[in-house]
Amino acid sequence: MNKTIDREDIIGARVAKLDAPEKVTGRTRYINDMVLPRMLRAKIFRTDRVHAKILKIDTSKAEALPGVVAVITGVDAPDGKIGVIKDNPPLKKDKVRCIRDELAAVAAETEEICDAALRLIEVEYEDLPPVFTCEDALKPGAPVIEVDRPDNIAMAQDFSAGDIAEGEKASDHIVEGKYNVHYVTHCNMGVSCCLADISVDGKVTLYSQSQYPYIMKMDLAPALGIHPGDLRIIQPPVGGAFGSKLDVYPYEPICVLLARKTGRPVKLEFSREEEFIASPTRQPVEFRIRAGMTSDGIFTFRDISTLLNNGGYTSWGATTPYVTMRTCSSHYVVPHIRYSARAVYTNNPYAGSFRGYGNVQATWMLETHVDKMAEVAGLDPLEIRLRNANQPHSMTPQGSNLGCIDLVGCIKISAEKSDFLKKWNAYSAQWDNGERYKRGIGIATSLHNAGGAKIHKSDGCGTILTMDDYARVTVMTGASDIGQGSDTVIAQIVAQELGVPLRDITVINNDTALGPWDVGVHASRTTYIAGNSAKRAALDARNQILAAAEKQSNVTADQLDLRGGHVVQADNGEVVIETGRLLRQMHFAGEDAKLVMATDYYEPPTEPEDENHMGDMSAAYSHAAHVAEIIVDTHTGEIEIEKIWSVQDVGKIINLNGLEGQIEGGIAMGIGYGLHEDLKIEKGIVQNPAFRDYHVVTAPEMPPIDMAFIETDDHEGPAGAKGIAELPTIVIAPALGNALYNATGVRIDHPPLNPEKVARAIWERSNKNDAE
Amino acid sequence: MALPQNQIPTAFEAFVNATSIDEACKALAIGDGTVVAGGTDLWVQKDEAHKTFGPRLINISNIEELARIEIGRDRIRLGARVTMSDILDNGDLGDIAPALCEAANKFASPQIRNAATIGGNVANASPAADAVVPLLCLDAKIELSKWDGKKISTRDVPADAFFSAPGQSVLAVDELITAISFEHPGTNPIARFFKSGPRPALEIAIVSLGFSARLAGGKLTNVRIALGAVGPTPVRARKTEKLLEGQRLTDDLKAAALDTLADEISPIDDVRGSAWYRQHLARTYLQEALHDAAQS
Ligand SMILES: Cc1cc2nc3c(=O)[nH]c(=O)nc-3n(C[C@H](O)[C@H](O)[C@H](O)COP(=O)(O)OP(=O)(O)OC[C@H]3O[C@@H](n4cnc5c(N)ncnc54)[C@H](O)[C@@H]3O)c2cc1C
C-alpha cells in the first residue's frame, strides 16, 4: 500500500507571522532604509503661522547654497488639490491655514544641506484673524478658512429614524450628556517617508507607505498633472500606518515634484517632530446626547449632535461620522434616532482616518452614557446592556442586517470570567472609606463592521495565483499588509486549499503594476475580503490540479484531496502522486501543456449607503466586550490596570497568534487613548511634539489580558472569519472610565483620564463632600 | 513649535577620546570643548536650536578613574561617569543611600540607565534631574577639576549652590565634574524618593521629592527635603525642614509642614502639569514621607 497522509488543519492554528523573522532580526528594509543611485534627499519648509496671507516666499538664498539641487514652491506645482474634498494644495502659495502648512521644499545632496537650506528661506506674511474652536468658527462673521465654504462647514451628515417626539413621550427618564474627545495621533514607529523615481518618459514610480495604493493613483495624479495610469505605487514593508496613510498628504506630491524637477530619485523622510506636527490626528469630536428610556431601562430614543474640529483642510477625519453614526443609531436597540454631524473648519491641524475610525470616539461617549443611564434606572451595567442588546439577524435603523452576532455572549462571558457583579457591588460601596488606593471594575461593548465597508463603489480585492513546477505557490494579492498580518492569513487560507506547507507560499504585495486592484487596508476588511479572494483563487487552482489527477488515476476528483504536497485519496489519505510531479506532467505535456494559474476578484455582497445613510455596507458585523479592573491612587490620580478581560466575536479564528497580537496591540492603543495620549494643541500649535511629552503605553504598563473568542462562523467570511482588528482599540477606553467611576465616584467625560485630571476630580469631589 | 529656522547648531569638528582626567581637563582648557559622558542628554539636545555647543567633543566615558564608587568610613565618593545602573548594582549604596538608589531605579529605562551618568545628570542642570534630588538631601558636594596651566586644581561646590537656572550652573567652560561626594549618613537613615508618573519607565518627573532625616528619641533631626520640577532648579525646602527639625511628628505638625511646603515652592503650569497639580503632588509625597518617618 502507498504512503498515507492525514488531513491537517492550518486554519485556527498558531502561526508565526511570515515577516516576523526579518523584523526581529532587523533585516526588514523599509523605505526609510532604501537608497537609489543618484538619490537626493528632500525636506519641507513649513510655516510657523496658523492663519496668514502669504505675501512673498524668497528662496533665492536657499537655492544658492552649495549642494542644493532644487527648491520648489506653489508656483512650481500643478493646480490639482488633494484631500477628501480637494481643498488642500500640496504647496501653499496664497494662504496659510494651519501650523503644518507646506510652503516650499528643498532637494539636496544630503539631509543636513536640506536643513540648512530651509533656514535660508524667507517668507513675508500678513496675519489673518485665527479661529480655533467649532463654536467660534460657526459664529456669524467668523473668519473664513476656505473661500468655497463661507459657513466654515466642510462636511455635514444627518440621519433620523422614527420620531424623537414619540420617543420622548415613551420615556420615563431622559439623560443628557456632553463629551469632548481629544486629539491623539498614530505614532507610527516608522516615520512618514517616500521615495520618488521618474522615468525618462515621465512615468512616476513612488515608493510609498500608502494604505490604499490603487485608489491613491487617482487621488495623487491631479496634484502631479499626470494621468493616473502613469503612476506606479510600490509599497515596501511599512513601519505602522493605522489609518494615517489612507489619504494623499502633501509630502508625497512634493517629493514627486522634486524628482521631476531634478531628474533624480528623491527621498523625503519626516523627523519625529514633524511626524507629530504634520501627520494626521484622530478626529476630535464634541458630542451632545439626549437619551431616553422607560422605567425598566428599555431605550426609547437617542438624539445626538456632534461637532468635529476639521482643522485647516479636509481629510478623512471629516468622514468619521459615517462610522460614529452607526454606533449612535444601531448599538443596542433604539427605536427613535436623530444624529447630526458638522465638520467645522478652524486653524487647527487636521485629522485623518485612524484605527477604530469614529467608533473610538462614539463608543467612549455611548458606553459612558449607558453606564450613567443604568444608574438612573437603578440597574447594574450588565443588566441595562443585556436588556437592550442587539439580537442576531436583526435589522438596524440604517438597514444593516447584523447577521450572526453575539453581543449577549460577549457581555455574559466577560462578566462571568471577571466576576464582574460581585466586584462592582463591593467596590462602589468603598468610595468614602478613606483609603488611598481604590479598586474599580468597568465594562464596555461596541459594534463594528467586520466584513468590509463599502465606502467606494467597489469594496473588492483581486488575487493572481500561480504554481511553479515544484508546487511552490505565488499569491499576488491586492491587499496591503502594513504589519497587521494579512499575508500570513492569506498564506494559511491558500495552504489549506492546496495542501502545501506554509513556507512554500510566497505572498506578493504590493506593487500596483503587479497586483490586482484592492480598495485599501482599512475597516477591518483585509482578512475578510482579501481572504475570500485568495480562497476562491486557491479553489480554482485546486480544481485544476484535481481534474488533472482524475485523468491520471481512476479516482474521481471529488474523491481526491491535496495534503502535504501530495494528491491523496480523500477517504484514506493514500498518496496518488506528488503534487509537484503532477504539475510538471501537466506543464510538459506537449500540445496539452498547462500551467496552474488562477485569478479572482471578490466583491462582497454589500451596498454603499444611500443619501439617507441607509444601506448594508458591510458583509458582517461584530461585537466585543471589555472588562477592566483598576487600582486608583486617589492622591496622585494614577491608574494602574490590574487586568483586562476581552471577549470578541471573531467569526472563526484563522491565525491565533495574529488574532491575539491584534487584540493586544489594539488594547494598548485604546489604553493610550483612554489614559495617557493627548496631543496638546493650543491656539493651533502642537505643544508636545515628542515622545517625551506625548505618552504612549510602554511594555511594563500593559496589564495581563484574558482573551476569549466567540466563533459565530460567518456564512460569507473565509472559513467563517470576521474582521477583528479595530474593535480592541474601540472598546477599552470607556471600560476604564466606567471602572474609575466604580472605584471613586468620579466621572470624567473628556478623555484622557490622566493623573492630573483624575486627582483633581477626586479632590473636588472630596472637597464637595466635606462642604456638605 | 515649528522646526528651527534661524540657528544652525554647531557641528562637532574635533573628537578627543580622553583616557585620563589630565587629558580631558587639558582639552577643556582650550575653551571650545563639549564634554560627553553617556550622551543621553547631549545627543537629544544637539539638534535643538536654542542650545549651542563647543565644536571639540571630549569623551570622558573611557576614563577609568571617573568610574569608581568609593565607600569610605566617613565619605562616599562617586566618580562622575558612574552610571545609574552602576549605582543600582553596587552592593553597599542600597543601605547607605536608599533614596539615591530609588531615584536611579525610577530613572528612564534600563537602556538609558546603562548609559546615563551621575555627572551628566548634575551637569545638565535640569530642574527635573532625578539624581540631584537625593543628592541635595545628602548635602552632596560636586567636585570640579580643571587644568590651571601647570596642574589639575579642584574645588568642591555644595550641590545646593551649584545650580543657577534651567540648564545653568556654576560649572565653568574649562571645568570637568570629576566626582560627587557626601558624608556617610550612618546606618538606617530615613530616606525616601518619590517621582510622579503613571509609567514605570521613561517619565520625566512632573514633581519629584526627596526626604531624609533621623529619628532620635521620637524627634526628627537632620531633616532634608528637596524637590525637582517645582522651580527653575532642583530646590531644598528649607522652611519646611526648619519647621520639622527637632520636633515630634504630631498630626498638627504634619499638617503645618504640608502648608509650609506649599508656601515655599512656586511651581509653574507647563505641558507636563499645572501648578495646582505640582502643589498637590508635593503635598502628597511629603505626607507619605512623614507618614513613613512616623512609622520607622
Ligand atoms: C529616553 C530618556 C529618558 C530619560 N529619563 C530621565 C529620567 O528619568 N530622569 C532624569 O533625571 N534624566 C533623564 N534623562 C536625561 C539624561 O539621561 C540624564 O540627565 C543623564 O544623567 C545624563 O547623563 P549622560 O552621561 O548621558 O550625560 P551627557 O548627555 O553625556 O551630558 C549631559 C550634559 O552634561 C555635560 N557633562 C556630562 N558629563 C560631564 C562632566 N563630567 N563634567 C562636565 N560636564 C559634563 C555634557 O557636556 C552635556 O552638556 C533621560 C534621557 C533620555 C534620552
Tell me the mean pLDDT in the region A162-178: 98
Q: What is the DSSP string of A232-286?
A: EEE----S--TTTTSS--THHHHHHHHHHHHTS-EEEE--HHHHHHHS-BPPPEE
Task: Clarify whether residues B143 and B169 are in a common domain.
Answer: yes
Ligand 1 neighbours (beta carbon < 6 A): B 34-42, 44, 60, 80, 107-108, 112, 115-117, 119-121, 123-124, 129-130, 171, 176-177, 202
CATH assignment at residue B20: 3.30.43
Nearest atom in ligand 1 to B60's CA: 41
Rounded CA-CA distance A170/A164 in Å is 10
| Candidates A122, A275, A681, A756, partner chain B, best to mutate (most B CBs within 10 A) | A756
Mutate which of B36, B142, B178, B203 for ligand 1? The one with the most ligand atoms within 8 Å of its CB, which is B36
Residue B219 lies in a domain: yes
User: What is the pLDDT, as a whole number, of residue B48?
Assistant: 72
**∠ CA A447-A453-A458, rounded to 5°:** 170
Sign for the CA dihedral angle at A161, A443, A665, A635 comes to positive
Task: Clarify whether residues B93 and B113 are in a common domain.
Answer: yes
Residue B170 lies in a domain: yes
User: What is the pLDDT, as a whole number, of residue B199?
Assistant: 75
**∠ CA A541-A546-A550, rounded to 5°:** 155
**CA B256 to chain centroid:** 28
**Residue A91 reports pLDDT greater than 90:** yes
Nearest CA to ligand 1 atom 19: B121
8 A C-beta contact, residue A723 and residue A620: yes
Tell me the mean pLDDT in the region B258-264: 98
User: What is the pLDDT, as a whole number, of residue B2?
Assistant: 36
Nearest atom in ligand 1 to B66's CA: 41
Gyration radius of chain B over CA positions: 20
pLDDT band, very low/low/confident/very high, at A208 (cuts 50, 70, 90): very high
Residue B197 lies in a domain: no
User: What is the pLDDT, as a whole number, of residue A176?
Assistant: 98
User: What is the pLDDT, as a whole number, of residue A554?
Assistant: 87
User: What is the pLDDT, as a whole number, of residue A696?
Assistant: 95
pLDDT digits (tens, 9 = 90+) for A299-351: 999 999 999 999 999 999 999 999 999 999 999 999 999 999 999 999 999 99
Residue B242 lies in a domain: yes
Q: Which of A156-170, A607-621, B33-47 has the lowest mean pLDDT?
A: B33-47
User: What is the pLDDT, as a whole number, of residue A313?
Assistant: 98
Phi then psi dihedrals of residue A514, to 5 deg: -110, -50
**Residue B12 reports pLDDT greater than 90:** no
User: What is the pLDDT, as a whole number, of residue B10?
Assistant: 54
Mutate which of B23, B28, B35 for ligand 1? The one with the most ligand atoms within 8 Å of its CB, which is B35
Q: What distance in angstroms lies between residue B158's CA and the mean position of ligand 1's atoms?
A: 20
Tell me the mean pLDDT in the region A44-48: 97
User: What is the pLDDT, as a whole number, of residue A510?
Assistant: 85
Task: Clarify whether residues B164 and B220 are in a common domain.
Answer: no
Residue B30 lies in a domain: yes
Phi then psi dihedrals of residue A475, to 5 deg: -115, 110
pLDDT digits (tens, 9 = 90+) for A422-470: 999 999 999 999 999 999 999 999 999 999 999 999 999 999 999 999 9
CA distances from residue A568 to A3, A8, A494, A579, A668 in whole angstroms, order as listed: 9, 13, 17, 9, 45
- Expressed as residue numbers, the domain containing B213 is 203-295
Q: What was the ipTM of the complex prediction?
A: 0.93
Q: What distance in angstroms lies between residue A478's CA and the mean position of ligand 1's atoms?
A: 48
pLDDT band, very low/low/confident/very high, at B4 (cuts 50, 70, 90): very low
Q: Give this prediction's pTM.
A: 0.96
Average pLDDT, chain A: 97
Gyration radius of chain A over CA positions: 28
For A732, residues 6+ apart whose C-beta sits below 8 A from its C-beta are A444, A626, A628, A644, A666, A667, A670, A671, A674
Q: What is the DSSP string of A474-533?
A: EEEES---SSSSHHHHHHHHHHHHHT--GGGEEEE--BTTTSPPB--S-TT-HHHHHHHH
Q: Where are the alpha helices (DSSP H) in A624-681?
A: 656-671
Helix (H) or strand (E) holding A526: helix A526-552
Name the residue among B1, B5, B199 with its Cβ closest to that of A695. Answer: B199
CA distances from residue B257 to A441, B79, B263 in whole angstroms, order as listed: 36, 35, 10
pLDDT digits (tens, 9 = 90+) for A741-753: 999 999 999 999 9
User: What is the pLDDT, as a whole number, of residue B18?
Assistant: 98
Domains delineated in chain A = 20-27+460-602 (3.30.365.10), 36-128+190-241+245-278 (3.90.1170.50), 285-453+610-771 (3.30.365.10)
pLDDT band, very low/low/confident/very high, at B44 (cuts 50, 70, 90): confident
pLDDT band, very low/low/confident/very high, at B53 (cuts 50, 70, 90): confident
**Residue B6 reports pLDDT greater than 60:** no
Q: Cβ of B295 under 8 Å from any chain A Cβ?
A: no
Residue B196 lies in a domain: no
Task: Clarify whether residues B168 and B277 are in a common domain.
Answer: no
Rounded CA-CA distance A271/A43 in Å is 10
Residue B193 lies in a domain: no
Tell me the mean pLDDT in the region A120-143: 98
Task: Clarify whether residues B23 and B133 are in a common domain.
Answer: no
Rounded CA-CA distance B248/B257 in Å is 12
For B272, residues 6+ apart whose C-beta sits below 8 A from its C-beta are A693, B204, B206, B229
Residues of A with Cβ-Cβ distance to B6 under 8 angstroms: 119
**Residue B9 reports pLDDT greater than 50:** no
Nearest CA to ligand 1 atom 33: B124
pLDDT digits (tens, 9 = 90+) for B185-235: 987 789 999 999 767 778 899 999 999 999 988 899 999 999 999 999 999
User: What is the pLDDT, as a whole number, of residue B198?
Assistant: 66
pLDDT band, very low/low/confident/very high, at B49 (cuts 50, 70, 90): low
pLDDT band, very low/low/confident/very high, at A1 (cuts 50, 70, 90): low
Task: Clarify whether residues B115 and B134 are in a common domain.
Answer: yes
**Residue A138 reports pLDDT greater than 80:** yes
Sign for the CA dihedral angle at B103, B108, B109, B110 comes to negative
Residues of A with Cβ-Cβ distance to B281 under 8 angstroms: 636, 759
Task: Clarify whether residues B166 and B70 are in a common domain.
Answer: yes
User: What is the pLDDT, as a whole number, of residue A769?
Assistant: 84
CATH assignment at residue B239: 3.30.390.50
pLDDT band, very low/low/confident/very high, at A53 (cuts 50, 70, 90): very high
Q: How many domains does chain B have?
A: 3
Task: Clarify whether residues B129 and B230 are in a common domain.
Answer: no
Sign for the CA dihedral angle at A579, A580, A582, A587 comes to positive
Task: Clarify whether residues B171 and B209 are in a common domain.
Answer: no
Beta carbons within 10 angstroms of residue A449's beta carbon: 27
pLDDT digits (tens, 9 = 90+) for A250-292: 999 999 999 999 999 999 999 999 999 999 999 999 999 999 9
Rounded CA-CA distance B43/B49 in Å is 13
8 A C-beta contact, residue A254 and residue A90: yes
User: What is the pLDDT, as a whole number, of residue A401?
Assistant: 97
Tell me the mean pLDDT in the region A371-387: 98
Rounded CA-CA distance A258/A250 in Å is 12
Q: Cβ of B49 under 8 Å from any chain A Cβ?
A: no
Bond preceding residue A425 cis, omega within 30 of 0? no
**Residue B72 reports pLDDT greater than 60:** yes
Task: Clarify whether residues B70 and B50 are in a common domain.
Answer: no
pLDDT digits (tens, 9 = 90+) for A549-564: 999 888 999 999 999 9
Residue B245 lies in a domain: yes
Residues of B with Cβ-Cβ distance to A116 under 8 angstroms: 8
pLDDT digits (tens, 9 = 90+) for A390-405: 999 999 999 999 999 9
Task: Clarify whether residues B82 and B178 are in a common domain.
Answer: yes
Residue A283 DSSP code: P
Average pLDDT, chain B: 93
Mutate which of B23, B106, B112 for ligand 1? The one with the most ligand atoms within 8 Å of its CB, which is B112
Task: Clarify whether residues B163 and B93 are in a common domain.
Answer: yes
Helix axes of A213-224 and A251-262: crossing angle, nearest 10 degrees = 60
**Residue A78 reports pLDDT greater than 90:** yes
